[in-house]
């Protein structure tokens, strides 16, 4: 597929290893480069196929000399000098997501799996995982990858390049979407867009632009699911209309907790669905079960919280539009237990519930989490700031938070933003933060780790932070 091509992969993490091995096994001559050194990247270097060249501790010019193509890992900004110079010399620069799409397309020209893509600031992993479960219950052959779990290129390698799949379900981040060219999901959803990664994007408009690239190549016969309650959805719809060319426009449907829409909505305490005849015709759903007969009771879900109602509405709507049966929907939703580090119940100790929401890495995620609690909350927050506006938390801190325990680099900034609203304490590490929260809590309270920050000042990643929190809670 890439016989004899010289390809440089920039960024040796999970995506970089997957892309490099896929390219190498497809006949390419592969060089991997990363600004980190061999000692930091040992576990990734060991996973590379023999025969792949590594140039680490920087991006030397020889890594790009004579390259036919450059593949960029999501964590690498596209505006670093080596990539700008490569683009200026006419070298094609794409990301691992685009590479995976094109490999699947070339490997399965007659029956390419349909991509179903999920993006948004919050809720991506939960929605993606539930969508995967529904499709699996429906009897489809499904691959799951992307920004969740396994890189897509690695999934393709393990599955004969996608040739045995009906659907490829993928969580996609704004970083991955920056570098797409031809990526075209049959179905896509943008769950929400709230301030995040503003240390990488210079404005909310730039961040929104990246998210909107998910529908860049969609056309008639494809569909896009949007959150009718999200303040930025109007701007997204404008971008959809502006992107229409001769290929037509995707069908746009919505989910909403506040109003009846074409798509999925909350009414009378139940999640209900409605798809017009025109949409059913456009998407080939004629003759299938009418969506109006499907109703879901959130009281029966194992996952709780207002944000999870939205996640379920989005996942089920995408699954139904992709052709999944109501039986599969009901079976999956009733048994889905959610994901680790997303409002995960850890333990009840002396009448206090301890909740691990380490994936709450931005202000919007923390707001969604706090909205779902009726009991007083002792909130543990802090970490590495992503140029966030923590003042957006003021109303919910005033209403919901009994005390704040702050950790990490951003604790002074958070204290300045909301520390005047409730008792506020500093802690030197997460274990002492849990101890302080335990001392402050009374029966009926909730101790919630929802940091509103990245984890990299003190932990390997949000998963490491969540595990350390659970360890500390179980030591109480």
Using pLDDT thresholds of 50, 70 and 90, give the confidence band for residue 245: low
Query: What torsion do the CA atoms of 283, 284, 286, 291 make, to the nearest 10 degrees?
Result: -40
Please state, in angstroms and rounded to a whole number, the distance separating the CA atoms of residues 302 and 334: 7
Rounded to the nearest angstrom, the gap between the alpha carbon of residue 16 and the centroid of all alpha carbons in its chain is 18
Instruction: Please write the tens of the pLDDT for every residue from 113-146.
Output: 999 999 999 899 999 999 999 999 999 999 999 8
Q: What is the pTM of this model?
A: 0.84
Claim to verify: residue 203 and residue 324 sit in the same structural domain: yes
Residues 350, 353, 354: CA angle, nearest 5 degrees: 115
Please state, in angstroms and rounded to a whole number, the distance separating the CA atoms of residues 382 and 411: 5
Rounded to the nearest angstrom, the gap between the alpha carbon of residue 334 and the centroid of all alpha carbons in its chain is 23
Among 302, 319, 306, 280, smallest CA distance to 140 is for 319
Claim to verify: residue 350 and residue 281 sit in the same structural domain: no
Query: What is the reported pLDDT for 361?
Result: 92
**Is there a contact between 276 and 283 (Cβ–Cβ < 8 Å)?**
no
Claim to verify: residue 272 and residue 188 sit in the same structural domain: yes
Backbone angles phi, psi at 48, to 5 degrees: -80, 145
Q: Is the pLDDT of residue 246 over 70?
A: no
H-only helix segments in 410-476: 411-418, 430-440, 462-474
The answer to the question of residue 110 being in a domain is yes
Query: What is the reported pLDDT for 232?
Result: 94
Can you tell me which residue has the tokens 């299938």?
288
Backbone angles phi, psi at 66, to 5 degrees: 75, 10
Query: What is the reported pLDDT for 248?
Result: 80
Claim to verify: residue 210 and residue 109 sit in the same structural domain: yes
Q: What are the angstrom distances between the C-alpha of 333 and each of 315, 350, 419?
A: 10, 32, 39
Claim to verify: residue 147 and residue 254 sit in the same structural domain: yes
Please state, in angstroms and rounded to a whole number, the distance separating the CA atoms of residues 95 and 99: 6
Instruction: Please write the tens of the pLDDT for every residue from 337-386.
Output: 887 888 888 999 999 999 999 999 999 889 989 988 889 999 999 999 98
Please state, in angstroms and rounded to a whole number, the distance separating the CA atoms of residues 222 and 274: 18
Claim to verify: residue 322 and residue 385 sit in the same structural domain: no
Q: Which two tokens stand for residue 288?
A: 């299938």
Check which CATH number belongs to the domain holding 456 and give it: 3.90.190.20
- At 404, is the secondary structure helix, strand, or coil? strand
When mean pLDDT is compared across 196-200, 306-310, 326-330, the lowest value belongs to 196-200
The answer to the question of residue 130 being in a domain is yes
- At 181, is the secondary structure helix, strand, or coil? coil
Last residue of a domain, one of 46, 73, 90: 90
Last residue of a domain, one of 63, 90, 117: 90
Q: Is the pLDDT of residue 83 over 90?
A: yes
- At 279, is the secondary structure helix, strand, or coil? helix
Tally the C-alpha atoms within 13 A of residue 141's C-alpha that lie toward its C-beta.
Answer: 11
Write down the mean pLDDT value for the chain. Answer: 93
Please state, in angstroms and rounded to a whole number, the distance separating the CA atoms of residues 329 and 308: 15
Beta strand extents in 21-157 (DSSP E only): 29-33, 53-55, 69-72, 92-95, 114-119, 142-146
Claim to verify: residue 374 and residue 456 sit in the same structural domain: yes
Rounded to the nearest angstrom, the gap between the alpha carbon of residue 464 and the centroid of all alpha carbons in its chain is 18
When mean pLDDT is compared across 199-208, 211-220, 271-280, the lowest value belongs to 199-208
Claim to verify: residue 132 and residue 228 sit in the same structural domain: yes
- At 272, is the secondary structure helix, strand, or coil? strand
The answer to the question of residue 372 being in a domain is yes
Claim to verify: residue 231 and residue 134 sit in the same structural domain: yes
**Is there a contact between 66 and 6 (Cβ–Cβ < 8 Å)?**
yes
Check which CATH number belongs to the domain holding 123 and give it: 3.40.1190.10
When divided into structural domains, the chain yields a total of 3
Please state, in angstroms and rounded to a whole number, the distance separating the CA atoms of residues 44 and 38: 9
Last residue of a domain, one of 283, 306, 335: 335
Q: pLDDT > 90: what percent of the chain? A: 79
Query: What is the reported pLDDT for 354?
Result: 96
The answer to the question of residue 1 being in a domain is no
Beta strand extents in 137-262 (DSSP E only): 142-146, 167-171, 187-190, 223-227, 251-256
Please enumerate in sequence order all residues whose Cβ is within 8 A of that of 145, keeping only pairs 6 or more positions apart, or say none: 100, 151, 152, 154, 155, 168, 169, 170
CA Rg, the chain, in Å? 23
Please state, in angstroms and rounded to a whole number, the distance separating the CA atoms of residues 459 and 457: 6
Claim to verify: residue 373 and residue 433 sit in the same structural domain: yes
Query: What is the reported pLDDT for 311?
Result: 95
Backbone angles phi, psi at 468, to 5 degrees: -65, -35
**Is there a contact between 108 and 164 (Cβ–Cβ < 8 Å)?**
no
Instruction: Please write the tens of the pLDDT for every residue from 259-305.
Output: 999 999 999 999 999 999 999 998 988 777 878 889 999 988 888 78
Query: What is the reported pLDDT for 108?
Result: 80
The answer to the question of residue 83 being in a domain is yes
Over residues 249-260, the mean pLDDT reads 95
Check which CATH number belongs to the domain holding 38 and give it: 3.40.50.720
Q: Is the pLDDT of residue 321 over 90?
A: yes
Claim to verify: residue 265 and residue 370 sit in the same structural domain: no
> Domain span at residue 103?
98-335
Rounded to the nearest angstrom, the gap between the alpha carbon of residue 391 and the centroid of all alpha carbons in its chain is 24
Claim to verify: residue 48 and residue 24 sit in the same structural domain: yes
Please state, in angstroms and rounded to a whole number, the distance separating the CA atoms of residues 139 and 11: 37
């Amino acid at each position: 597929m890439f016989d004899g091509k010289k390809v440089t992969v920039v960024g040796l993490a999970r995506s970089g290893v997957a892309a490099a091995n896929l390219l190498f096994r497809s006949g390419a001559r592969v060089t991997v480069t990363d600004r980190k050194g061999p000692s930091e990247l040992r576990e990734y270097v060991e996973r590379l196929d023999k025969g792949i060249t590594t140039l680490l501790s920087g991006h030397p010019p020889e890594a790009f000399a004579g390259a036919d193509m450059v593949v960029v890992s999501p964590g690498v900004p596209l505006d670093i000098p080596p990539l700008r110079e490569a683009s200026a010399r006419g070298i094609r620069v794409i990301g691992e997501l685009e590479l995976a799409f094109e490999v699947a397309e070339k490997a399965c020209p007659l029956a390419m799996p349909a991509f179903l893509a999920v993006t948004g600031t919050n809720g991506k992993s939960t929605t993606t995982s539930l969508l995967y479960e529904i499709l699996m219950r429906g009897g489809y052959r499904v691959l799951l990858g992307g920004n969740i779990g396994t890189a897509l290129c690695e999934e393709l390698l393990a599955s004969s390049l996608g040739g045995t799949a009906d659907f490829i379900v993928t969580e996609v981040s704004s970083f991955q979407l920056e570098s797409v060219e031809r990526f075209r999901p049959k179905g896509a959803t943008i769950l929400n867009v709230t301030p995040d990664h503003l240390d990488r994007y210079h404005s909310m408009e730039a961040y929104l632009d990246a998210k909107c690239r998910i529908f860049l190549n969609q056309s008639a016969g494809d569909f896009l699911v949007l959150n009718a309650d999200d303040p930025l959805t109007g701007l997204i719809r404008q971008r959809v209309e502006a992107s229409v060319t001769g290929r037509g426009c995707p069908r746009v449907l919505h989910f909403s907790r506040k109003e009846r829409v074409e798509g999925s909505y909350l009414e009378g305490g139940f999640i209900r669905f409605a798809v017009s005849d025109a949409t059913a015709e456009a998407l080939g759903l004629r003759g299938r079960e009418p969506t109006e007969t499907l109703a879901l009771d959130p009281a029966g879900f194992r996952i709780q919280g207002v944000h999870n109602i939205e996640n379920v509405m989005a996942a089920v709507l995408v699954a139904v539009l992709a052709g999944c049966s109501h039986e599969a929907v009901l079976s999956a939703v009733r048994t889905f237990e959610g994901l680790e580090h997303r409002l995960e119940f850890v333990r009840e100790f002396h009448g206090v519930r301890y909740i691990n929401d380490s994936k709450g890495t931005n202000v919007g995620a923390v707001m969604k989490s706090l909205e779902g609690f009726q009991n007083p909350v002792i909130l543990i927050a802090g970490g590495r700031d992503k140029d966030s506006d923590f003042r957006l938390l003021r109303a919910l801190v005033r209403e919901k938070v009994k005390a704040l325990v702050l950790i990490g680099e951003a604790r002074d900034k958070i204290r300045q933003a909301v520390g005047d609203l409730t008792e506020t304490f500093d802690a030197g590490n997460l274990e002492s933060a849990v101890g302080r929260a335990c001392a402050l809590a009374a029966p009926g309270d909730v101790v919630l780790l929802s940091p509103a920050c990245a984890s990299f000042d003190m932990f390997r990643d949000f998963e490491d932070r969540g595990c350390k929190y659970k360890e500390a809670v179980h030591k109480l």
